[in-house]
Every structure is written in structure tokens, then in C-alpha cells.
Amino acid sequence: MASSLQRSEIIGRLKEKGLKVTPQRYAIYANLLSRADHPTADQLLTDLNKDIPVSSQATVYSSLQVLQEVGLVREVLLDGGVARYDGNVKPHHHFQCRNCAAIADIPWEQFQGLDLSGLRSGGKAESYEVTVHGLCSHCAAEAESSSENG
Ligand SMILES: [Zn+2]
Ligand SMILES: [Zn+2]
């Protein structure tokens, strides 16, 4: 599903936002666009240092901060409180596995048209995001096989 973009297109997006294209920013953004598992900053750091010896933790954090400020990357905070990063900045929802904490995207259309008109607070709703909890396919399969074994 994650379509990987051309190098030139990734660089174009960074430039479009007025960012100086550094190897670290490029690597972090390209990495996020190539995956859909919403890594933490530490997971990104580990992953990136496999390919190029870029990065200190401080560099990864500051690059993520910059990418977030210009709207190319968003931070996803779900239960557990550890920030995950998402290269998908279009509106969408999330699924989180209660066993392994994996996060997956749910298309916006899946929960389109929720009725938000009856807010008790009297506030005016402007957007919403749904988090679905459960077991990912991997953990569900494991739970099933362990219950079969007694
Ligand atoms: Zn799981
Ligand atoms: Zn997401």
C-alpha cells in the first residue's frame, strides 16, 4: 500500500515547504513515507543508522520537529503516551493492537459522516479522529492458536 515516492518528488516536497534539504531530513521523511507502522523516534533512529550514519537522537528529534511544523509529518499520540510519527498527513483514523501496540491506518471514509451535532458541552465540533482498539491480525492469530492448545 505504501507507494514509495521518487527521490525528486520527496525533495520537491521539502523545498515546497521552504526547508533546506539536509540528508537527515530527507532520510527521515523518505523513511516515514515508505512505511505505515507509525514508528517512534527511537525506532526511526535505529532504522536510519542501518543505512547511513546520520543520526544522533537529537538530530532525529529536531528533524521530526521541523517536518511536523511544516505539516509534512504528524505526531500520533495514542494510549501509552509514546509519540509515533506518521508520513500520512491526510485525515484518517487509527487502529491500535492492545497486545503489541502496532498502529495501522484506517481510511477516512470508514467513519465518514459521524453525527457530531449533539455535543453536550455545547461546543462546536470541527474535526474528529477515531481510534479502534483490538488485536492485529498477527496477535489475533496467535491468541487463536494458543486457545486451541488449551
Ligand atoms: Zn498485535
Ligand atoms: Zn496514521
d(CA 91, ligand 2 centre) in Å: 9
Cα dist from 121 to 45, 48, 109, 135, whole Å: 42, 45, 26, 33
> Is 85 in contact with 32 (CB distance < 8 Å)?
yes
Sheet holding 92-97, edge to edge: 103-107, 92-97, 131-134
Work out whether strand 103-107 and strand 131-134 pair parallel, antiparallel, or are unpaired.
unpaired
Domain ranges of the chain: 7-84, 90-148
For 61, phi then psi, to 5°, come to -60, -45
Ligand number nearest to the C-alpha of 131 = 2
| CA 66 – CA 87 distance, rounded (Å) | 13
Q: Would you state the pLDDT for residue 2? A: 46
d(CA 49, ligand 2 centre) in Å: 23
The label of the residue with cell 543505512 reads 51
Is the domain 90-148 a CATH 3.30.1490.190 member? Answer: yes
- pLDDT tens series, the chain, 150 aa: 445 689 999 999 999 999 999 989 999 999 999 999 999 999 999 998 887 666 788 999 999 999 999 999 999 988 777 899 999 999 999 999 999 888 999 999 998 888 877 777 777 888 888 999 999 999 999 999 888 765
Q: Which CATH class for the 7-84 domain?
A: mainly alpha
| CA 126 – CA 61 distance, rounded (Å) | 30
For 9, phi then psi, to 5°, come to -70, -40
Q: Would you state the pLDDT for residue 52? A: 67
Residues near ion ligand 2 (CB < 5 Å) are 86, 88, 105
Please provide the DSSP assignment of 60-87 as one string: HHHHHHHHHHTTSSEEEE-TT--EEEES
Ligand number nearest to the C-alpha of 73 = 2
d(CA 99, ligand 1 centre) in Å: 5
> Is 63 in contact with 54 (CB distance < 8 Å)?
no
Q: Would you state the pLDDT for residue 128? A: 87
Residues near ion ligand 1 (CB < 5 Å) are 97, 99-100, 102, 136, 139
| CA 66 – CA 84 distance, rounded (Å) | 15
State the number of CA atoms in the 13 A half-sphere of 150 facing the CB: 0
pTM here? 0.82
Ligand number nearest to the C-alpha of 32 = 2
